[in-house]
């Protein structure tokens, strides 16, 4: 089986970092706890994700697509199979982020490459 490691990050505005670092630290803690919970409770996580994706799908599709997508059901089983191929982590690997940004340039989402090390400030992640 192929396992995909995807890093999901918490992004906060610079102003929040400067004005309320303690809140940012709490957000980081909550994100870490939530990620650990997903890894420890995959079935329950799949059920929650399925419900949320199903509800979101009803709201986001255009009316002409609604008829086609109305019959699509995002089941917990489908989500669980997908989750089984992904490693959920809050660890940040600048190399993976750099690769992702390069891919975004290829897709045209970014006009030019950015060095990940130039935009990553991980100092606030350090435990006290």
Please state whether the predicted TM-score (pTM) of the whole model is above 0.75: no
Helices (H), the chain: 14-19, 21-40, 42-60, 63-70, 76-83, 94-107, 116-119
Q: How confident is residue 48, by pLDDT bands cut at 50, 70 and 90?
A: very high
Same domain, 109 and 121: yes
What is the per-residue pLDDT across 64-102, written as a single tens digit (0 to 9) for each? 555 555 566 788 998 899 888 888 888 888 888 888 888
Same domain, 97 and 85: no
Same domain, 56 and 25: yes
Structural domains in the chain (count): 2
Same domain, 20 and 83: yes
Q: How confident is the model at residue 15, as a pLDDT? A: 92
Mean pLDDT score of the chain? 79
Same domain, 46 and 82: yes
Q: How confident is the model at residue 89, as a pLDDT? A: 84
Q: Which domain holds residue 126?
A: 92-128
Q: How confident is the model at residue 128, as a pLDDT? A: 43
Closest alpha carbon to 10 in 113, 121, 112: 121
| CB-CB contact of 42 with 87 (8 Å) | no
Question: What whole-number percentage of the chain has pLDDT above 90?
Answer: 20
Same domain, 111 and 75: no
Same domain, 42 and 58: yes
Same domain, 86 and 103: no
Same domain, 69 and 115: no
Q: How confident is residue 33, by pLDDT bands cut at 50, 70 and 90?
A: very high
More confident call, 53 vs 23: 23
Same domain, 50 and 80: yes
Query: Which region among 37-41, 62-66, 95-99, 106-110 has the lowest average model confidence (pLDDT)?
Result: 62-66
Same domain, 111 and 81: no
Q: Per DSSP, what are the bridge partners of residue 1?
A: none
- The two tokens of residue 121 are 């400030």
């Amino acid at each position: 089986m192929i396992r995909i490691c995807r890093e999901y990050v918490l992004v906060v505005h610079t102003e929040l970092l400067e004005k309320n670092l303690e809140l940012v630290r709490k957000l980081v803690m909550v994100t870490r706890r939530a990620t650990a919970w997903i890894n420890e409770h995959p079935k329950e996580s799949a059920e929650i994700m399925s419900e949320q994706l199903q509800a979101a799908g009803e709201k986001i599709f255009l009316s002409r697509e609604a008829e086609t997508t109305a019959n699509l059901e995002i089941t917990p089983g489908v989500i669980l199979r997908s989750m089984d191929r992904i490693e959920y982590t809050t660890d940040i690997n600048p190399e993976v982020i750099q690769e992702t940004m390069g891919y975004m340039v290829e897709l045209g989402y970014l006009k030019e490459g950015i060095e990940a090390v130039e935009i990553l400030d991980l100092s606030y992640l350090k435990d006290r």
